[in-house]
Amino acid sequence: MAKRIEFFYDIISPYTWYAFEVMMRYRKHWSATIELKPFFLGAIMKGSGNKPPGFVPNKAMYMMEDLPRLSRYFNVPLNMLSDPGKSMFEKGSLIPCRFLTATDMLYPDCLENVTRAIWMELWNKDEDITSLPVLERAGKVGGLDDEQLKNVLGHMTEQVTKDRLKAYSDLALEYGAFGSPTIVAHTGGKPMMFFGSDRFPVLANEIGEKWLGPDPDNLKSGL
């Protein structure tokens, strides 16, 4: 049976950006189909009874040191937010998650680059990704032309888009998700769930692929 990996993610999570880039880099190194599935982390937290690490003081302090060193390790240009509480918890990610869901439904070939562009807006430039002008800019950087962008902006508020986002969130919860990223591997037997940006060596071992480090081509990512 062909290998398949579902990558459930929310762009509000900084650790998920690291995992996303690694997953995209391994597309040409692993004989597995990788499916990007935007979900809503707020629904995952509520459905699993989890809470964000930023709500635990010691975890929040740890992240302040951990994120910069992981940025160097994964070769991803993440910068710390000026006001993490406001960006992550007050504004949240529902609007950009709907934007990504609409992009996936209408122009799936653009999803990877649009996702990356939104991450750049938030976790590199410290921009407000709930702002439509910021999302429009990310959409264009990600490869959407004016007509496609107009269609995505219209589609993101439709019930079918909201239903898709909920469906992916519910599916991740069925797999046992409690945070982002949630990675689910299928190799013919029972689905295998992995959480976080640090489980790739184990994932590779379980699906019979080689782990060659976070940047297998030994090149700068160009982000």
pLDDT of residue 206: 97
Average pLDDT over residues 148-160: 98
Average pLDDT over residues 133-160: 98
pLDDT of residue 219: 59
Q: Is residue 72 part of a domain?
A: yes
Average pLDDT over residues 161-181: 98
Q: How far apart are CA 204 and CA 211, in angstroms?
A: 6
Q: Is residue 75 part of a domain?
A: yes
Q: Is residue 152 part of a domain?
A: yes
Q: Is residue 13 part of a domain?
A: yes
Q: How far apart are CA 152 and CA 169, in angstroms?
A: 20
Q: How far apart are CA 198 and CA 92, in angstroms?
A: 24
CA distances for 143 relative to 2, 78, 87, 95, 99, angstroms: 30, 21, 25, 19, 14
pLDDT of residue 123: 98
| pLDDT tops 50 at residue 171 | yes
Q: How far apart are CA 113 and CA 144, in angstroms?
A: 9
Average pLDDT over residues 68-86: 95
One DSSP character per residue, 113-172 reads: HHHHHHHHHHHTT---TTSHHHHHHHHHHTT--HHHHHHHHHHTTSHHHHHHHHHHHHHH
**Contact between residue 139 and residue 103 where contact means Cβ atoms under 8 Å apart:** yes
- Give the domain range for residue 177: 3-207
Looking at the 3D structure of the chain, how many domains does it have? 1
Q: What is the pLDDT of residues 18-38, one digit of tens each?
A: 999 999 999 999 999 999 999
Q: What is the pLDDT of residues 82-141, one digit of tens each?
A: 999 999 999 999 999 999 999 999 999 999 999 999 999 999 999 999 999 999 999 999
Average pLDDT over residues 176-203: 97
CATH number assigned to the domain comprising residue 202: 3.40.30.10
More confident residue, 219 or 199: 199
Q: Is residue 149 part of a domain?
A: yes
| pLDDT tops 50 at residue 173 | yes
CA distances for 48 relative to 14, 31, 51, 198, angstroms: 20, 32, 9, 21
Q: Is residue 101 part of a domain?
A: yes
* Percentage of the residues of the chain whose pLDDT score is greater than 90: 91
| pLDDT tops 90 at residue 76 | yes
Whole-model pTM: value is: 0.95
Q: Is residue 219 part of a domain?
A: no
pLDDT of residue 54: 79
Q: Is residue 168 part of a domain?
A: yes
pLDDT of residue 1: 66
Q: Confidence band (pLDDT; 50, 70, 90) for 222?
A: very low
Listing from the earlier edge strand, what are the strands of the sheet with 192-195?
A: 32-38, 3-9, 182-186, 192-195
Of 140, 29, 153, 37, which Cα lies nearest the Cα of 99?
153
**Tokens found for residue 115:** 């996702």
